[in-house]
Each structure stands twice: as C-alpha cells, then as structure tokens.
Amino acid sequence: MKQLTTLWQILQLSGTTIGYSLFGLSFSAFDKGHKLFYEHGLRYAETILRIANINLVVEGRENLQEGETYVFVANHVSIFDIPAIWVATAPALGGRIRIIYKRSLQLIPFLGWELIVSPFIPIEREKMRRSIESISRAVGAIQEGDSVIIFAEGTRSRSGRLKEFKRGGFHLAARAKKPLVPVAIVDAHKILRADSVDLQQGTIRVIIGKPVPPPEQDDRIVERSLMKHLHAIVASMLPEDQQPL
C-alpha cells in the first residue's frame, strides 16, 4: 500500500510540474514584469508541498521587512528546498524571489523549458565568464526589487550535512549592497533521500535568521570573511545531524 501511495504521489508531482510548466509557457511572452509568473509559481510551490504531504514550519519570518530585498544564503539538501523557501518567504516578499540554478536543469523537459523563460538565473560554475554574467544579472534583479536565493554550497548535500560555501553568492552581496539572510533548511533530506524514490511524509523547518549587513567593499578577503561568518551562522541553526563534520 505504501508503494502504491508513493507511486501515486510521484505521478501527481510529475503531472503537476508538467501542467504548471505548460501553463507558464503559455503566458510568458506577455508577462513582462513577471507578475503572473510569481503568482503562478507560488501556487505551484504550495501545491507541490501539499501533494508530498509536507508540513512546513517557518521560524524567524519576523526578521524580514516587508518591501525590502535580500540575498538569502541557504543550505541545500533536497528538491523540496525551493518550494519550501518560496512559500516561507512569500508573506514578506509577495513571492518575488529569484533562484540561481544550474543551467543543466534547462535540459529537463517541460520544467527546463519553463526555467528558460522564467526570471530565475542560470549559472555555469565551470565557465567563469558566464558565471560573472549570472552574478551581474542577479544584481540587476535585486535592483529591480526582487530578492535572490543562493544555495551557497554550490550543489545539494547528499548526506544532509552542511558543506563548505562557495564565494559567488558573497561576491553578489558585495555588488548588490543588500543584506544577507542566513536560512537553515531542516529535515528536507528525510522527505526524499538521495538516489531514492521512497517519498516520506514529514516536516520541513525553514529557519530564517537575522539579516547581516553586506560588505562595504567588493574585496576578496572581506567576502571570504563574510562567507565564513554566514557559514557559522547557518551551521548553528541546524540540528546536530546536519551540522558539518
């Protein structure tokens, strides 16, 4: 029975992703300010969490000021991280949040096509020039009034434990001159473990820390110091089994 339930949920998740992607593509040509995308995307995120029977608990939402834009610095443990953060921050940000994602995700049918026309920002870490272009685009997004999420480890942690941070997000913060908000995503990796299709019902906690002022100058040493500081904050917000070894 559990296997049948899981199979049905996976089919629902897949069908919902295809449906929402096709619908998003249908209005992308005239959605110049991305208003429809954000409204539509937030509904998609809420639907995904509901289908997966995920109970979302949000802590620290009072740390966000309505109307402000931020650079969110989060750990990355699950495919459910993005819908969880999107829903968690929506009351303060109105759902206007951009995600920096791996360009290779554009190769996924339907979802990838929607990503191409979305305001989300692709990045190729192996190609320095394109990485710089992505950072510049993210700075522009913040200046337009959108917040940005950085999964600072670069790739998903398969064990759930916090890995070392990459510098790119902190270079973005230095250029954008916007506060950095540490975010801890707790227990999302237990919902769907790496290399598994066994979907588990459970709770994801999104803990939003207090904003940290951006560096006053675009300097490599200052950025690395800030990177270590944010890493320590996120680590302190995580339970013991997700803290770095």
pLDDT in tens, 218-239: 677 888 888 899 999 999 999 9
Contact 187, 203 (CB under 8 A): yes
Residue pointed to by tokens 């272009």: 133
> Quick one: 128 exposed, middle or buried, by C-beta within 10 A (0-12, 13-18, 19+)?
exposed
Q: Is 219 helix (H, G, I), strand (E, B) or coil?
A: coil
Q: Partners of 54 in the beta sheet? A: 202
Residues of the chain short of pLDDT 50, as ranges, are none
**CATH code of the domain containing 195:** 3.40.1130.10
Number of domains in the chain: 1
Domain hosting 110: range is 2-242
For residue 151, the 8-state DSSP code is: E
pLDDT for 202 equals: 92
Give backbone dihedrals phi and psi of 159, rounded to 5 degrees, phi first.
-90, -15
pTM score of the predicted model: 0.91
pLDDT for 130 equals: 60
